[in-house]
Homo-oligomer: A and B are copies of this chain.
Amino acid sequence: MATTTMSFLGAIGAAQREAMEADERVVIIGEDVEANVYGTTGGGKSRKDKGDFLELFGANRIRNTPISEEVIVGAAAGAAMTGLRPIVDLSYSSFLYMAMDQFVNQVAKNRYMFGGQASLPVVFRSAMFYGLSTGAHHSDRPYPMFMNVPGLKIMVPSTPADAKGLLRTAVDMDDPVLTFEACMLWGLKGEVEEDEYRIPFGQAAIAREGTDVTVVAIATAVPEALKAAETLAEDGVSVEVIDPRTLVPLDSRTILESVAKTGRLVVADPAHRTCSAAAEIAAIVVEEAFDSLKAPIARVTTPDTQIPFSPAIEKPLYPNRESIGEAIRRVTGERGASVPESPQGIDDELSTQAHR
């Protein structure tokens, strides 16, 4: 299997391009998609070499919208119900609230309410810009509220390969999908299969195998958990890191099997603590794997505060290798050497992150 190196963002762009090429009914709808402001719709005039989506697919299929999230989301749903397969670029996850009624009352409910008459093959992409000094209005990680809405599917990839494979599956699916991409991961490079491929929803990835403790990690917490695991390995603690990859459906079986083996669970989730994905995962495990548990479950989340602008006080809020490492120590009773300090953020290649 031949692979190529790609950034997370490049993988998203490649998946979109493949999907557009594979099926004429796939269209891209969103603010500033024509000029490729966020980097997933190809060139823009001076980036032609990378493939300008507007030139490749035309203005009929690359739809630059007004700033009107509510009608964008609703119109994409209506279009999906009548023959298109839209990919909607909502840029920041913090803008989803603008269209909340359409997400909850139309996108999530229409197939159900109408007794199966409606089909909603539509993907809503958005990125979480936390950790980048964008302040309270741009730093949300709102997937937990969407997890509470039956009828939506949710993907939170943490690697380029997963981002690409899951997005292809999402576009193929007749159910509505929300993507939550951590912007801090956009610049992350990784190996991606050269041939087209798809990754099924509801299958967690075991990012690292281990026997002493299970860490379920989401989005940026995945690389951070892996770093923590590396360090703890030096102290003889064997950490299994699981990336659920999709939160709905959630692969609870893989998590439960891991906890059955390790007896210990840490959940690292960049969402706010209360009613987070971490809460759900902890609840499932204490319901279904209670007898395996040897220690309290530890949640490592963003605390229940809003996000301050000042980097001095923002950066420490999110789960990182130290806080995850500390939680692992707590549940394993291990008091090893301290884990190395986090850098200020995961490197990225993007100038286009700075516009909001």
Interface residues of A (CB under 8 A from B): 94, 97-98, 100-101, 103-105, 108-109, 112-113, 135-137, 140, 142, 144-145, 147-151, 248, 250, 271-272, 274-280, 282-283, 285-288, 290-291, 293, 295-299, 304-306, 308
Contact = CB atoms under 8 A, between A and B. Distances in A.
Contact of A278 (B94, B137, B283, B298): B283
A105 B109 contact: no
19 contacts: A97-B100, A97-B101, A112-B136, A112-B305, A113-B135, A144-B148, A145-B149, A145-B275, A147-B275, A151-B306, A250-B274, A275-B275, A275-B279, A283-B283, A285-B286, A286-B297, A287-B297, A287-B299, A290-B295
A166 to B, nearest CB: 19
* Integer count of this chain's copies in the complex: 2
Contacts of A105: 94, 97, 136-137
B276 A148 contact: yes
Contacts of A271: 148
A117 to B, nearest CB: 14
A341 B299 CA distance: 39
A203 to B, nearest CB: 18
Contacts of A108: 306
A41 to B, nearest CB: 25
A140 B291 CA distance: 34
